[in-house]
Structure 1
Amino acid sequence: MTAMSESRSELLAWLNELLQINYIKVEQCGTGAAYCQILDSIYLDIPMTRVKMNAKHEYEFIANFKVMQNVFKSKRVEKPIPIEKLVKCKMQDNLEFLQWMKRFWDTNYPGHPYDPVARRRGQATDAPTTLAPVASSRAANTPGVPGSRSGGKTPIGGHRTGSASAVNHEQVLGLQAQLKEMSAHLEGLEKERDFYFAKLRDIEILVQQQCEDLAKEGREDITLGEIQKILYSTEDGFEVPESGAAAAEEEETF
């Protein structure tokens, strides 16, 4: 890999200044939103209304990258976008891609004024991070941590001051916010799962019908057979229990 002079902190500083956002981790670029707006700062014609700046679910990340793919195609940018890796929000994958984006920007940015907030029409940019939302609440009682509370100890045998209850209240609010975010994320994953499962089920039915029609004519299609193998393949190390398979066959006979 080509050596880069920019560190992670330098890249984030450049990104935050260019787009007027407040990313704290390179992994946040995995939503695809920042990458899209970097391109917009160059070309000024990216459909930013289709870019979800505060995307929180993987299917939203993928939609952002689809916008980016269309831009690369229209601008004839010969650079593969490893969407499957980037949307996992891993540091190394996004660091390498952000480094490439920085080089691309350095080469192609024409130097015109750019108003990132106006271009995204004031969309919120609170991309998710891998940090727990309650981290700031824990830090409230940790000496030496920015934002921590300072004050004397609670007198032995005396009553607690209001600061302790305030910290507990903040922790509860933080946990509630974390639970809400996790519930929303789970709901999004379930919708995404059901969406793709329905597609696979439609394909399975179509292939099965075609195979049955061909079988009646005494013919077979190698491609359809391979598709069925893929559809019915199992993960390595996993086998369908014989009892379960037998039960399924019995159900199908009725």
Structure 2
Amino acid sequence: MGESRTELLGWLNELLQINYTKVEQCGTGGAYCQVIDSIFGDVPMSRVKMNAKHEYEFLVNYKVLQNVFKSHKIDKPVPVDKLVKCKMQDNLEFLQWIKRFWDQNNPGTHYDAVARRRGGSTETPATIAPLGRSGGNLTPGGAKPGRRTPLGGARSGSSAGVSPEIVQGLQAQLRELNGQTEGLEKERDFYFAKLRDIEILVQAQVETLEAAGADDHTLREIQKILYSTEEGFEVPEANAVPLDEEETF
């Protein structure tokens, strides 16, 4: 409990042969999975995405972690909904627990972290910097107030007041945001497809019971949940492109 963030990161980087610089990076879930693997040696590391960049990939890692906890009867809830947000405090608390668990259970033998993940990439994305930059009085577009400069590049001439570095930085952020949007759309469609499968199964069972003159309260309640909506909610189109992800829960 008394270990600082620096000490915890030092231990984590040495154990797993990675180069994390912030506790928040643990929110992807990959490091937690491999720490547990260093104890038991049976985590399916081929399914762990150490370089996960999107929340739906983080969820795959946490599903692996929860399955391992269950198989080894580890009575510790994993607050997935908090950890995936990559907030420092939530991940610091869980990393502290992981370190204590490792101290109590590690077998004391050499652990080849790189071999266990088969040399897979451990690059972990940093949090996206805010568009506004301090000290420059720049608008989100990178230009001085009162001027409008397209993201594609600055105006010709030095009067534009936008350095190539700022333009390149904003373009990189835009690409990252586009990638995150694509990931969120895939995640949405992934879960919508699962709910649609459940809906079909429930409806089929209800119709079967109705034909036999029977009913099932639980199935009716499930239907109510499936069909309930909130103001501003839009159902994804039925012909949305299905996911080609091979990972499933």
The two structures have a TM-score, normalised by structure 1, of: 0.71
Q: Structure 1 unaligned segments of length 5 or more: list them.
A: 142-158, 241-254
Shift of 1:102: 0.5
* Alignment pair present for 1:26 and 2:23: yes
Matches within 5 A, 1:66-81: 66-81=63-78
Identical-residue share of aligned pairs (%): 70
Matched residue pairs, number?
Answer: 212
Larger helix percent: 1
CA gap of 1:49–1:207, structure 2 versus 1, over 3 A, is: closer
Partners of 1:134 and 1:174 within 8 A in 2:
no
Partners of 1:51 and 1:67 within 8 A in 2:
yes
- Root-mean-square deviation over aligned CA pairs: 3.0
Distance 2:213 2:112 in 1: 66
Shift of 1:193: 0.8
Shift of 1:216: 4.7
CA gap of 1:215–1:48, structure 2 versus 1, over 3 A, is: closer
Number of the residue aligned with 1:40: 37
* Alignment pair present for 1:122 and 2:119: yes
Number of the residue aligned with 1:208: 203
> Greater shift after overlay, 85-94 or 209-218?
209-218
The two structures have a TM-score, normalised by structure 2, of: 0.73
177, 181, 188: which one aligns with 1:186 = 181
100, 103, 108: which one aligns with 2:105 = 108
Distance 1:28 1:226 in 2: 40
Distance 1:29 1:176 in 2: 26
* Alignment pair present for 1:170 and 2:165: yes
* Alignment pair present for 1:226 and 2:213: no
CA gap of 1:215–1:24, structure 2 versus 1, over 3 A, is: same
Distance 2:199 2:107 in 1: 51
Shift of 1:48: 2.0
State the one-letter code of the partner of 1:109: N
CA gap of 1:55–1:220, structure 2 versus 1, over 3 A, is: same
Partners of 2:128 and 2:173 within 8 A in 1:
no
Shift of 1:55: 0.4
